[in-house]
Each structure stands twice: as C-alpha cells, then as structure tokens.
Amino acid sequence: MRTTKQLSITLPNTMADALRERVASGAYASESEVVRDGLRALFARDEAVETWLRTEVTAAYDELRADPSQAISSEQMRSHLAELHAQRLSESDT
C-alpha cells in the first residue's frame, strides 16, 4: 500500500521561487520536502493554538464566569496596553 499521494499545487511566483531557492541551497533535497516541512510547521502551530485555547483561555474564561468582579472594562484594558507599549518603547530607546 502506498504511503504517499502525489498532488499538483499552484503557488504564487514568489512562493515558488522561494521553494526552489531552498532546494537549490541544499537546505532541502526536494520541493516536496520543503512543502512537507512547511505543513509540519503549520500543523504544530495549529496544535499549539488549540492547546492554548483548551488550557489557558478556557481556564481564564471559567475563572471570570465564577467571579465576574475580576473583569476590567475595555477602556481599562486599552489604557493598560498603552502603558505597556510606552514602557517597551522607552526601554528600547535606552
């Protein structure tokens, strides 16, 4: 039984060129390897997002439902994020 399946794909020129460059550089043996590696990275990222949603986001949501007094307004969040942004900008200037 065959464990691979041949597909025909269409890529924008820039992506096709980048794919060929990776093979030409010797980083990959074939264009198929580049695509497989990219798909593995995509699947890993998707799994990481799913895990984060199932664990951290769900837990935070459950905590907030149990004690709504922990919530902050959107204006408070914007203000907090603006403070963090300003702080990081000042740190990068030093």
Q: Given phi > 0 = left and psi -120 to 50 = alpha, else beta, which region is 46? A: alpha
Who contacts 33 (Cβ-Cβ below 8 Å, separation ≥6)?
Answer: 23
5 belongs to a structural domain: no
Q: Give the chain's mean pLDDT.
A: 95
47 belongs to a structural domain: yes
Q: What angle do CA 66, 63, 77 make, to 5 degrees?
A: 115
pLDDT digits (tens, 9 = 90+) for 13-34: 999 999 999 999 999 999 999 9
pLDDT digits (tens, 9 = 90+) for 50-84: 999 999 999 999 999 999 998 999 999 999 999 99
Domains of the chain: total: 1
Who contacts 9 (Cβ-Cβ below 8 Å, separation ≥6)?
Answer: 35
Does residue 1 have a pLDDT over 90? no
80 belongs to a structural domain: yes
Under the banding of pLDDT at 50, 70 and 90, the label for residue 2 is: confident
53 belongs to a structural domain: yes
Under the banding of pLDDT at 50, 70 and 90, the label for residue 93 is: confident
Full domain range(s) for residue 60? 35-93
